[in-house]
A and B are shown apart, each in its own frame.
Chain A
């Protein structure tokens, strides 16, 4: 962890951040953890690392660079951690047992080759798991229900589309649209348009109307950026209040997330996340003149000119902020491995870490 990011000798001229961004931009279907894994694989391709130690060091320092340059690295860190654990556990294997089951010559090379040659496969598999989740999750959407969901999650979109394909279920969707300033508002609109074209009645509401609508809702389905160790989720701002409202009205809240989004964090409350979010900023008028204070007064949106313009780790803007939904508000987590209770998450994580 103490490694100095830019002094890495093994990858002379490779910019992992750029690679990560290109990956994300090139494929709208790609999730952040998978993009991070892909970026690390690319880094491995460019490296000259020959030993396990070198590789691990390389991964660690590339991960650090990547994390440092992305405002909200929680989701991404799920991917990098998973990758690192995978490398460590696979590399540990033969030395412990003394039996070489990995291949005739050089287990390290075998793994390396496996990773390099199957880079695209991970993406495909991640997409396949989304399909699988959709096929699990569609059973939750019964005939005649009204589903409340909030913005921009592709897995939720896939699930609802899959449910819409069944001719036996008629359901309605209340879609909490992300604010237009957020990065995934387009995704949300796309899902809404897609559902409407499939004859699913969709109502779009702003965040503030959730309480007003909740009594009409039968179930809540949300996506997640990360699923944390205690079974809670980190998701777009507004999910927590959605969960609280659903709980208070006795509506089940289901989370749909691929299992590669499981991240080893244990947040205790909203302000315990390892990222800086510019949401709660107290100000008085003579603090700073002009646009900043106006924005806070008008919209409750925090200071925009500090956070967004620089890509360095100076905090997440309010539109893309996340919150933490504790596990007691969650009825079930629908993953490609089946429907888990929140308490199953820690077990899955323990399995790869210890």
Chain B
């Protein structure tokens, strides 16, 4: 965690600092109030704060009971999401930690029930041969996401997948932090689910091997986890593993921008004109990575009235307004210093200039399971204009912003901000007579986006459901 200057106002920095000295319960209350007062806002700070808090929460839980741990995390998660439902990222992080606990528990349960002892983890090649071996090779070549392959099977196959990618084999699922940590997610309801055995107590006792996936699905419920936990307590320290996992998650949060930026040269070519919007760190790093090798032009829409000061600052100095970004790590040179021509335009100018633009790169607030996204207001208009001109729209987003939430009702996701940003409240005449709306976000439907670039690589919007399935357990989708 960055050790920046002392923040005068409460925010992410002060929260992280206070975490070390405050007990858990007040810390939870602290974060809830910060979220409610919007003193921590936007996806990344929320994600960092949530992960840091959950690290504390897990650390405080006594005993080795997985069920208890799950209930505790879930309970904290419910309170946090209730505090600020529109910061979907908070829920994402909670779900991922829940998935982490389940994964650790299942890993251990597998080891036990297969009676191969801990050795099975090192001899995973032999281990996975118990379960439908013909899939492992064909799927991993078929899937663009080697590490994040889900199958209706179990963890063993995934371990073999990882070993193919030359990862060390001991506890492999916890070591691939920035790729995907939730490999063992069984795709719920394999097509064979119809045939599965009524109640399978464990994978070992089912009469057919194939029933194990679905049988396991139903058996890994909160109830059975207690039993599984009992099995595994003797061998592995559940809490230590989960804590490790959360730290990996924190690493992922830190690294995701750089990993996304690593794709930049594939997408930005010399002499292109790139249009972007708002002062997003992810986008700026992405463009800067390309700017090291190539010369291009950036057209920057200023995102008036909510983000324009930050945009101006970013264009000019490469620094945003938030004091939590005041640390050395998050500073970067402005694009202009890298020799890039930057054109700042008002939002109203987007359509006029779109015909000249080669590519649109958008930042996002949240990416939803159907491939749509919630981004700063104006994004929909830009995406629509790009569609009209057949300009490709690329969205850069860390996987942590990808949410399993399905946008049943788009209006619920849109937040309205301070109308005073548009018309100052001093203008009494205006305020009396006219309704002023200031939506902060836009929902951009999936068909307006051509490509998502996450820290895992590039994906088509229609593929996002798969990444969601890889990262979140179905049991956790409703907190």
Contact = CB atoms under 8 A, between A and B. Distances in A.
A338 B477 CA distance: 11
B463 interface: yes
Contacts of B474: 338
A183 interface: no
Interface string A134-171: 00000110100000000000000000000000000000
Interface string B199-227: 00000100111100000000000000000
A115 B370 CA distance: 37
Contacts of B138: 354
Interface string B355-395: 00000000000000111000000000000000000000000
B166 interface: no
Contacts of A331: 370
Nearest to B406: A339
B194 A351 contact: no
Given A93-B210, A336-B189, A101 B204 contact: yes
Interface residues of B, number: 41
Interface string A233-263: 0000000000000000000000000011010
B209 A93 contact: yes
A347 B193 CA distance: 15
A139 B191 contact: no
B6 interface: no
Given A90-B209, A142-B409, A347 B466 contact: yes
A117 to B, nearest CB: 10
A322 to B, nearest CB: 21
Interface stretch (B42-50, B126-134, B253-261): B126-134
B465 A351 contact: no
B120 interface: no
A102 B130 CA distance: 11
Contacts of A89: 132, 192, 210
A213 B314 CA distance: 50
A6 B406 CA distance: 51
Interface string A329-354: 00110011111111110011111101
Given A97-B133, A344-B465, A118 B198 contact: yes
Interface stretch (A67-75, A121-129, A200-208, A301-309): A121-129
Interface in B154-209: 187-198, 204, 207-209
Contact of B190 (A339, A341, A352): A352
Contact of A259 (B193, B198, B371, B465): B193
B142 interface: yes
A338 B217 CA distance: 14
B208 A37 contact: no
Given A102-B208, A103-B207, A96 B370 contact: no
B462 interface: yes
Given A86-B210, A102-B208, A343-B462, A37 B191 contact: no
B188 A338 contact: yes
B322 interface: no
Given A114-B207, A341-B462, A93 B132 contact: yes
Nearest to B212: A101
Contact of B189 (A121, A126, A335, A347): A335
Contacts of B130: 97, 99, 101
Contacts of A94: 209
A170 B274 CA distance: 46
Interface string B387-414: 0000000000000000000101100000
B466 A337 contact: no
B408 A142 contact: yes
Contacts of B152: 351
Given A86-B210, A101-B130, A140-B408, A341 B192 contact: no
A110 interface: yes
A265 interface: no
A122 B465 contact: no
B470 interface: no
5 contacts: A89-B132, A96-B133, A115-B195, A343-B463, A352-B192
Interface of A: 34, 37, 82, 85-86, 89-90, 92-94, 96-97, 99, 101-103, 107, 110-111, 113-115, 118, 121-122, 125-126, 129, 139-140, 142, 259-260, 262, 331-332, 335-344, 347-352, 354
Interface of B: 129-130, 132-135, 138-139, 142, 151-152, 187-198, 204, 207-210, 369-371, 406, 408-409, 460, 462-463, 465-466, 469, 474
Question: Nearest 6 CB-CB pairs, A to B?
Answer: A337-B189, A343-B462, A110-B207, A93-B209, A90-B208, A341-B462
